[in-house]
Amino acid sequence: MPDAGIGGESLETKEKDENKNRWGNEGQKVIMLVENLSKTYMQGKIPVHALRCACITVRKGDLLAIMGPSGSGKSTLLALIGTLEKATDGKIILDGIDLTSVPENLLPRVRREKIGFIFQHYNLVPTLSALENVELAMRFSKVTKKDRRERAKSLLEDLGLGDRLNHKPAELSGGEQQRVSIARALANKPALILADEPTGEVDTKTRDSIIRVFKELSQKGQTIIVVTHDPEVAKECSRVLRIRDGMIKD
């Protein structure tokens, strides 16, 4: 769905025009560009540098793992890319949009239309069925009820949950719940999916099935960033970023 205009111009058009020359012939292949991204918190009068001058180029279809010890800056990086926090410095250009310059009142729409989120604890609505949980993600995207239900059903069937459409989260296994959350993340056809420890609450067999889903989506052109502590997950990804003390190594 195209972005609604800001002063008669779409969110995408302005940023894509501005970045066309800089990206050159690679423009269509690059889905996200992170430039000198930094985040500093203040603990009283003491600055804490959670992220320092991060630079990342992510191409369409990348399955990218981010690894690092607790407190290294992984969660900060994910929150900045997901527009859940504001950067102290630097830029994040996603699908032609400079996320760091989008007005605060438009960020919810950007998140809804450009970014899909997958969480460790699934975050499904317990009173809704699997179908309704996925459909809910599209409710504010001007998608008709009929189209919402058809897309939700198709996504769940593609993820092997065709016989679980009307089951509520408590009636599903951990792996099934995570696949519902993957379907929900895909509902609005995002440019990027951010997955925060998506295999942290499941057994080895379920972990492997979730990674297979990610790899299949990546092969179809879906870009996914996975924060993980699990080296078995990381080795299945196409790239691994390691972060320590707020510094990134690719």
DSSP letter (8 states) at residue 3: P
Q: Tell me the C-alpha to C-alpha distance, in Å, between residue 186 and each of 18, 40, 137, 203.
A: 28, 32, 9, 23
- Phi then psi for residue 214, to 5 deg, are -60, -45
Residue 161: which of 125, 120, 129, 201 has the closest Cα? Answer: 129
Q: State the Cα–Cα distance between residues 182 and 4, nearest whole angstrom.
A: 26
pTM for this entry: 0.85
Per-residue pLDDT of 161-219, as tens digits, reads 999 999 999 999 999 999 999 999 999 999 999 999 999 878 899 899 999 999 999 99
How much is the pLDDT for 5? 40
Q: Which domains does the chain have, with CATH numbers?
A: 60-86+99-249 (3.40.50.300)
Query: CA Rg, the chain, in Å?
Result: 18
How much is the pLDDT for 70? 86
> Where do we find the tokens 């605060």?
104
Q: How confident is the model at residue 95 (pLDDT cuts 50, 70, 90)?
A: very high
Cβ atoms 188, 137 nearer than 8 A: yes
Tokens of 186: 């895909």
